[in-house]
Amino acid sequence: MRASRFFISTLKEAPSDAEIVSHQLMMRAGMIKRLGSGIYTYMPTGLRVIRKVENIIREEMNRAGAIELLMPLVQPAELWQETGRWDKMGPELMRVKDRHGREFAIQPTSEEVVTDVVRSELKSYRQLPINFYHIQTKFRDERRPRFGLMRGREFTMKDAYSFDRDVEGMQKSYATMFDAYTRIFTRFGLKFRAVAADNGAIGGTGSHEFHVIASTGEDALVYCPDSDYAANIEAAEALATGERGAATQQLAKTSTPGKTKCEAVAELLNIPLQHHVKSIALTVENEGKKRYFLLLLRADHELNEIKVSKVAGLKEFRFSTEAEIVEAYGTVPGYLGPIGTKLPVTVVADRTVANMADFVCGANELDYHYTGANWGRDCAEPIVADLRNVVEGDASPDGKGVLAIERGIEVGHVFQLGTAYSEAMGATFLDEAGKPAPLQMGCYGIGVTRILGAAIEQNYDDKGIIWPDAIAPFELALCPMGLDRSEMVKEQTEKLYAELLAAGVDVIVDDRGLRPGAMFADWELIGVPHRVVIGERGLKEGNLEYQGRRDEAATSVPVGDMVAFIKGKLGK
C-alpha cells in the first residue's frame, strides 16, 4: 500500500470523552470515528485490523470443522418469544417494527435463529455433530456504552453453535472449540488466559471465558501459578482458611458505641480485623411470606453474590430493608450477629467463618458487639457455604499451591448449553432407534471488535499503539527520507517496496512527503510493529535503518540483507 493512496488521519489529542487508553489511542490513530453513542465507523486503518482478526478466526474455525454461514441481523420476534428471551432480555435487546407493525429484534446473538435453521434442516443422528458459525454485526443497546470498542452498542462478533446427539458429544465439540480458541488467541500474539466461568443467565452446564491480560481489565482472573487452575472471580472456589481452633475466650458483650463497621470495631477493641465477622442480612420472599437469612463473612473478605444465589433457598434473595432488620434482629444495621436474633434467622457462614473461633460479631443490640464468640457453644452451628471472592494467597481448589489474581478483558466465551434452547424450540433429531431426542448444544463467541481495544490495553506506550505482527494494520512502514529530492532514495524505495511485497510482507510505503518526525510519529501512534528508514546518508554506506516498535534504537542493516532480515523478524 502507498500511504498517498490510503487514508491516514491522526490527532495530537484524544477527544475528551475517551476515558481509557485504547479508546484514546484508536481515536488519535484515526482507526475509529464516533457516529453516535457506542456506534463507530471503522476507518480504513481500523478495518484492516478487524479483517486480520476475522481471518485468523475464520481459518481456525474452519480448521476445527466449523461451517460458516450468515444469519440475518433482523430477526422475527416470534423466534425470540419461543425461548422467552423476547421478554427476559429487557431494553438491551433492540426491537424494531416493520411497515406492517410486525416486531423484530436486531440480533445481539443468534441462538434462536441457528436453532430454527437446525430444527428444519437436521433430521438424523447421521448429520451430527455439526457446528455452524458466522461473523456478523451485532447490536446491544447498552445502558451506558463507553470505552470505545470495549463496550459499544454496534459491534462485530463471531458466534458459533455446535449440535450433538448426547452430552459426551457436546463436551467433545466444546473441547474442540476450546482448543481452537487457544490457537486463535495464540495466533493474535496476545497474552491471554482461559478461566472457568459461571454460566450466568444463558443457562447450561459449563463455560470458560478467554481474557486478554491487561492491568486495566474490568475482570479479576484467579489462577494458580503452580497448576492449571484458572477461573474468573465469580466462579473461583474459595476454600476455608485454616482449621477451627478450640474456644479459649468467654463470650463477652462489649460496648462499641457508633462503631458500625468492622474496621472501626477492630480499631476500638485492638483486635485484628481477621478475627471479626461481618453480617449481611438477606430476605427471601415467597408468595408473600418472608424468610430471613444472615450471611457471615470474615471482615476482610468480599461477598460474591453469584455464589450466594447458589445457596439452597437463596436463588431469589435480596438485601433486607432496615425495617426488616429491626424486626428480625431487634437492632439497626451495624450491630447484627448470629447470637440471639429476635426472630428465627437462617445463619449461613462462609467456609472461613465456620472455621473461626473466639471471633468478634454484632450483639444484635445497639452499640454492642460480642468478643470471644464460638460456634456450637454460643450459637448453633451454621449452614456452611462458599460465599466470598477468593483473595491472593488463598489455597488453590486443586490443592496444588496458592492463588494469584490478575486483571483481564473478556474477549471470548465458550458455553455448554445442553438442551435449554433445543427443548424450548423443539429442535430434535432422530436417534439410531428412530426416536426423536433434543439436540445438545454448545455456543462459542468471540468479540471481534473488542479484540482491538483489548490488544491495545495490553500493548501500548507513550508514543501510541504497539500491534502484534499478526493483527497490525500493516506489518511494516517503509519510510523514505526526502523522496522528492533524492533519486537514489526514490529508486531504492521502489525496489525495496516491490521486494517486500513479493516476500509477502504487508508493507505501507510512506510517500506523503512528510518530515521525518511527523512521519515516524504517525506510524508509532498507529502502532505498525516494524519500520525501515531509507536515507541518502545510509544508502551511501550501503545501509538501511530498521527499528522495531519496542526497540530503543535503530539497527543498521546492509541494503541487500534487509528483505531476509525482515522475513526473519516476521517469521516468514
Q: Which residues bind a second copy (CB under 8 A)?
A: 5-7, 9, 33, 35-36, 39-44, 47, 50, 65, 67-76, 91-92, 94-96, 98-99, 102, 104, 106, 113, 116-117, 120-121, 130, 132, 137, 139, 141, 143, 153-154
Residue 567 C-beta: closest distance to a second copy, Å: 23
**How distant is the alpha carbon of residue 160 from its chain centre?**
17
Nearest distance, CB of residue 549 and a second copy, angstroms: 24
CB of 520 to a second copy, least distance (A): 21
Rounded to 5 degrees, φ, ψ at 128 are: -105, 155
Closest CB to a second copy among residues 117, 559: 117
Which one, 11 or 332, has the nearer CB to a second copy? 11
Residue 212 C-alpha cell reads as 486478554
> d(Cα 540, Cα 536) in Å, to the nearest integer?
6
* CA 141 and chain centroid, separation: 18
| Helix (H), strand (E), coil (C) string for 533-547 | EECHHHHHCCEEEEE
Least distance from a second copy to the Cβ atom of residue 195, Å: 31
| CB closer to a second copy, 16 vs 120 | 120
Q: Report which of 140, 163, 135, 170 is spatially closest to residue 152, judged by C-alpha positions.
A: 140
**CA atoms of 199 and 236, how far apart (whole Å):** 13
| CB closer to a second copy, 143 vs 550 | 143
Nearest to 445 by CA among 229, 154, 84, 156: 156
Please, what is the minimum distance in Å from the beta carbon of residue 183 to a second copy?
Answer: 18
Least Å distance between CB 32 and a second copy? 10
Please identify, using beta-carbon distances, which residue of 54 and 406 lies nearer to a second copy.
54
Number of residues assigned to the chain: 572
Q: What whole-number distance in Å separates Cα of residue 299 and Cα of residue 12?
A: 48
SS3 state of residue 180:
helix
Residue at 115: amino acid letter: T
- Nearest-angstrom CA–CA distance, 252 and 48: 69
CB-nearer residue toward a second copy: 12 or 99: 99
Separation CA 339–CA 370 (nearest Å): 9
Q: What minimum distance in Å lies between the beta carbon of 69 and a second copy?
A: 5
Cα 24 to the center of its chain, rounded Å? 20
Smallest distance from a second copy to CB 438, Å: 20
- Closer CB to a second copy, 48 or 549, in the complex: 48
Of 423, 444, 438, 446, the residue nearest 128 (C-alpha): 438
Q: Smallest gap, in angstroms, from Cβ of residue 10 to a second copy?
A: 11
Least separation in angstroms between residue 135's CB and a second copy is: 11
Cell of 156: 462485530
Residue 68 vs 305, nearer CB to a second copy: 68
DSSP state of 196: E
Within 13 Å of residue 572, how many CA atoms lie on the same side as its CB?
17
* Closest CB to a second copy among residues 102, 253: 102
Q: Which phi and psi (to 5°) does residue 402 adopt?
A: -115, 160
Write down the least CB distance from residue 522 to a second copy, Å.
15
Neighbours of 563 (CB within 10 A): 18
CB of 219 to a second copy, least distance (A): 25
- Alpha-carbon Rg for the chain, nearest whole angstrom, is 30
Q: Which is nearer to a second copy, 92 or 551 (CB)?
A: 92
How far apart are alpha carbons 439 and 144 in whole angstroms?
36
Helix (H), strand (E) at residue 293: strand 289-298
458 within 8 A of 22, measured Cβ to Cβ: no
Say if CB 9 and CB 134 are below 8 A apart.
Answer: no
Smallest gap, in angstroms, from Cβ of residue 49 to a second copy?
11
Q: Least distance from C-beta 6 to a second copy, angstroms?
A: 6
In what helix (H) or strand (E) does residue 269 lie, and over which residues does it extend? helix 262-269
Closer to a second copy by CB, 173 or 371: give it: 173
Residue 39 or 264 with smaller CB distance to a second copy? 39
Are 453 and 217 in contact, with CB atoms under 8 Å apart? no
Question: Please, which residue, 116 or 475, has the CB nearer to a second copy?
Answer: 116
Give the nearer residue to a second copy in terms of CB position, either 116 or 457: 116
Other C-beta atoms within 10 Å of 17: how many? 12
Q: How far apart are CA 160 and CA 180, in angstroms?
A: 12
